[in-house]
Chain A
Amino acid sequence: MATTPAELFERHHVAIYRYLLRMTGSRETAEELTQDVFVRVLKGLELYQERDRERAWLFRIARNLRCDLARRWQRQPPSASLENVEALEPQRQELQLSLTRALAALAEDDREAFVLGEIGGFSYEEIGVICETTPAAIRSRIYRARLALRRTLEAPAVRERSFVRGTHA
């Protein structure tokens, strides 16, 4: 039985939203693009049959929409946005803000590879397909991203909270 757009939305919209939020730095833009992804799915689902690759397919649509928007707007690299974390408690706000700022400071290619790996849960090969490059390039991009994030997140307060939250996860 074919997967319905509603089922795809239910399963993947949060991950797609997080990817778009991390890539655009704007909650409004991420929400608009997330909606656009699934509206496209709604209009053209018959083109898609491979259930096991639905996640990669959706992320590819999200990436194409994001790139189209970036080309239209010629946007600056995203900046850390307070509004994205204002509803969280103070400790988590600090961690999320540090992460948001650190991610925003990465080169776009490195950030995208890292976000697709960590948030999307994709392999190097899958990210390579989504980003139209080789798995080896993705491996290097993620490594560079981790090194940069390591330096940014190693402030004592953030390090301690990351550890504490990790033990409760």
Chain B
Amino acid sequence: MREDFEVLSAVLDGDAVDIGQLAAALDDPEGRRVFVDFVKVRQATANDDIAPRGEFYDRVPGDLTLRARTKGRSLPYPLAAAAILLAMLFGSMLDLNVSRQDPSAPGPPEPTRVLRFEPGVDWQP
């Protein structure tokens, strides 16, 4: 294996390389095969998506998990649901009170004068 194929590995990693060495390596058919194989190795590694098992998260201290940090501050689900229900009920009662007409309440005052506007005279449509 030629030593100067190292430049192919370096260029794959974004390292600064000697352009002459890179050109020489890529001129060599073996160099091109090596480069393609390096890319395949990278792809195989990139597909490595193994993560810790579920039990791991049970053992991690609560201070380290965002979920655990917010857990203590949040309302329990039944209490939160009850609060939402009460808010909706209260809101709908307010709405009913506002929109309902009170028969004993005085009506609006009678008009003292009426203004009439003629289209084409008082304004242009």
Asked if chains A and B come from one complex, the reply is yes
Residue pair B40, A99 in contact (C-beta under 8 Å):
no
Interface residues of B in 51-85 (CB under 8 A from A): 51-53, 56, 59-61, 63-66, 68-69
The docked-state distance in angstroms from the alpha carbon of A150 to that of B44 is 10
- How long is the Cα–Cα vector from A143 to B10 in the complex, in angstroms? 8
Q: Are B37 and A140 in contact (CB under 8 A)?
A: no
Tell me which of B34, B44, B52 has the highest count of chain A C-beta atoms within 10 A of its own C-beta: B44
CB-defined contacts of A46 to chain B, threshold 8 Å: none
Interface size class of A (residues with CB under 8 A): 35 or more
State the main secondary structure of chain A at its contact with B: helix
A78 at the interface (CB under 8 A from B): no
Contact (Cβ within 8 A) A139 B6: yes
Which residues from chain B contact A42 at a C-beta distance below 8 Å?
Answer: 61, 63-64
Q: Interface size on B (CB < 8 Å)?
A: 34
> Hey, what's the 0/1 contact readout for A37-50 against B, CB within 8 Å counting as 1?
01100100000000
Closest B residue, CB atoms, query A139: B10
In the complex the two chains form, what is the Cα distance from A124 to B9 in whole Å? 12
Asked if A147 CB lies within 8 Å of chain B CBs, one says yes
A residues near B53, Cβ cutoff 8 Å? 27, 31
Q: How far is the CB of B86 from chain A (nearest CB, A)?
A: 33
Top 7 nearest A-B pairs (CB, nearest first) are A166-B43, A143-B9, A150-B37, A143-B6, A9-B64, A118-B45, A162-B44
Listed A/B pairs (29) with beta-carbon separation below 8 Å: A5-B63, A6-B63, A6-B66, A6-B68, A10-B65, A13-B52, A17-B52, A17-B56, A38-B64, A42-B64, A95-B44, A96-B47, A99-B48, A117-B13, A118-B45, A123-B14, A123-B15, A139-B6, A139-B15, A143-B10, A146-B38, A149-B44, A150-B37, A153-B37, A153-B40, A159-B40, A162-B47, A165-B43, A166-B40
